């Protein structure tokens, strides 16, 4: 099977999919961009375009990529998070499968610009099939009447390349709790900070910090024992800190599902999840799930994971859960099944 992946933004994840699909015998061409901060030199299967809607730039490169994609003669085209309307031409070369991560915006900061919605929302929903990454999103799309095409669920992988995986961190080296990603309202900071203050004031606190990693908008002073590394980061810069954490907090107000959650599981770090969206769906048996506004419940979860032996016990369970259900080879096998089904059931044009 020949698969054309069009992924201008989620390049690290697209690369992992591409290489695992190739390992299963598929031919893959990935057209992407340098928009993601993990971008580096193009790999042999990659074509790199501008990725941004700048009308006076990138036409020569786009034309060459379009000709190369036509010569590739894909059996399916997979689309994900477009920003440049020109990419719609590439998407018409075979039956189109869209990958859709969210059933709705997390909050007002997550809403796409008007011009992006105008060019892509209705067009995107006319795909020949849709892949989502949780039963929660699949059910939500059906309830909204947005599941007209065949709808498939596939595992959500981490975008940390398997080659970068560190060793599992033992109990004696575990420290701190993490809140990773865009620090925006959906992260539920008020509840998280209230629980953190209760934890650090109680007998279970062992001197850990709560470390915020990522840009965002937070007003007011941070609580005691909270540190904010306010910048975009590459995994190589923070991987040691991620892997040695006692817990990763994904106690969101709204969520479809969380890449932070699968990253933590991959590294062997337990996640403290809320009841939002598919967060409970992704948790291993016994993993922390507390109500969105449940400060006391989240405090108890922090108290438990402050014990490094408990952090390791839950971390091992999370990592095993990831390997069985969300690891990239598992996802690639599912994706290949979906692509074959779409090709078999899409009328020839």
Q: Tell me what the mean pLDDT of segment 4-23 comes to.
A: 94
- pTM, to two decimals: 0.92
Same domain assignment for residues 122 and 259: no
Task: Give the least confident one: 23-37, 113-127, 182-196.
Answer: 113-127
Q: Is 77 helix (H, G, I), strand (E, B) or coil?
A: strand
Same domain assignment for residues 309 and 186: yes
Query: Number of folded domains in the chain?
Result: 2
Same domain assignment for residues 311 and 189: yes
Burial classification of residue 114, based on how many CB atoms lie within 10 Å of its CB (0-12 exposed, 13-18 middle, 19 or more buried)? exposed
Burial classification of residue 288, based on how many CB atoms lie within 10 Å of its CB (0-12 exposed, 13-18 middle, 19 or more buried)? buried
Model confidence pLDDT, tens digit, residues 247-268:
999 999 998 999 999 999 999 9
CATH number where 85 lies: 3.40.50.2000
Model confidence pLDDT, tens digit, residues 45-71:
999 997 676 777 788 899 999 999 999
Task: Give the least confident one: 143-152, 163-172, 188-197, 288-297.
Answer: 143-152
Beta bridge partners of 290: 274
Same domain assignment for residues 118 and 88: yes
Asked whether residue 227 carries a pLDDT value surpassing 90, the answer given is: yes
153: tokens are 């669920």
Same domain assignment for residues 142 and 234: no
pLDDT band at residue 123 using 50, 70 and 90 as cut-offs:
confident
Predicted pLDDT at 107: 62
Residue-number span of the structural domain to which 149 is assigned? 2-157+327-345
Predicted pLDDT at 106: 60
Model confidence pLDDT, tens digit, residues 74-110:
999 999 887 778 888 999 999 999 999 876 666 666 6
What is the β-pairing status of strands 177-180 and 151-153? unpaired
Same domain assignment for residues 21 and 149: yes
Same domain assignment for residues 10 and 152: yes
Same domain assignment for residues 10 and 146: yes
pLDDT band at residue 273 using 50, 70 and 90 as cut-offs:
very high
Instruction: Please give the share of the chain, as a percent, with pLDDT higher than 70.
Output: 93
Same domain assignment for residues 179 and 143: no
Q: Round the average pLDDT of the chain to a whole number and report it.
A: 91
Predicted pLDDT at 34: 80
Predicted pLDDT at 110: 60
Same domain assignment for residues 310 and 331: no
Same domain assignment for residues 115 and 79: yes
Asked whether residue 170 carries a pLDDT value surpassing 70, the answer given is: yes
What is the largest distance, in Å, between two alpha-carbon atoms of the chain? Answer: 68
Residue whose C-alpha is closest to residue 98's, from 88, 108, 107, 106: 88
Same domain assignment for residues 19 and 151: yes
Predicted pLDDT at 50: 76
């Amino acid at each position: 099977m020949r698969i054309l992946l069009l992924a201008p933004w989620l390049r690290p994840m697209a690369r992992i999919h591409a290489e695992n699909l190739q390992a299963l015998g598929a031919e893959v061409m990935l057209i992407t961009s340098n928009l993601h901060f993990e971008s580096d030199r193009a790999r042999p299967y990659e074509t790199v375009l501008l990725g941004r809607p700048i009308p006076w730039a990138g036409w020569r490169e786009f034309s060459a990529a379009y000709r190369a994609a036509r010569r590739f003669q894909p059996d399916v085209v997979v689309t994900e998070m477009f920003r440049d309307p020109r990419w719609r031409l590439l998407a018409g070369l075979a039956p189109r499968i869209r990958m859709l991560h969210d059933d709705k915006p997390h909050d007002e900061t997550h809403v796409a610009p008007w011009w992006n919605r105008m060019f892509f929302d209705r067009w995107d929903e006319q795909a020949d099939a849709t892949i989502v990454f949780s039963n929660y999103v699949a059910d939500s799309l059906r309830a909204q009447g947005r599941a007209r095409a065949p709808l498939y669920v596939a595992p959500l992988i981490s975008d940390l390349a398997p080659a970068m995986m560190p060793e599992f961190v033992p109990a004696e080296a575990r420290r701190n709790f993490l809140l990773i990603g865009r620090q925006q309202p959906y992260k539920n900071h008020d509840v998280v900070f209230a629980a953190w203050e209760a934890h650090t004031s109680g007998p279970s606190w062992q001197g850990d910090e709560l470390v915020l990693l990522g840009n965002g908008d937070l007003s007011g002073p941070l609580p005691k024992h909270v540190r904010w590394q306010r910048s975009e980061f590459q995994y190589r810069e923070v991987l040691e800190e991620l892997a040695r954490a006692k817990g990763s907090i994904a106690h969101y107000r709204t969520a479809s599902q969380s890449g932070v959650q699968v990253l933590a599981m991959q590294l062997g770090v337990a996640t403290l999840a809320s009841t939002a969206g598919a967060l409970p769906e992704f948790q291993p048996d016994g993993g922390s799930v507390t109500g969105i506004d449940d400060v006391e419940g989240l405090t108890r979860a922090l108290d438990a994971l402050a014990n490094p032996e408990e952090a390791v016990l839950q971390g091992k369970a999370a990592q095993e859960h990831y390997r069985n259900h969300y690891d990239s080879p598992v996802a690639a096998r599912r994706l290949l099944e979906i692509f074959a089904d779409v090709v078999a059931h899409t009328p020839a044009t």
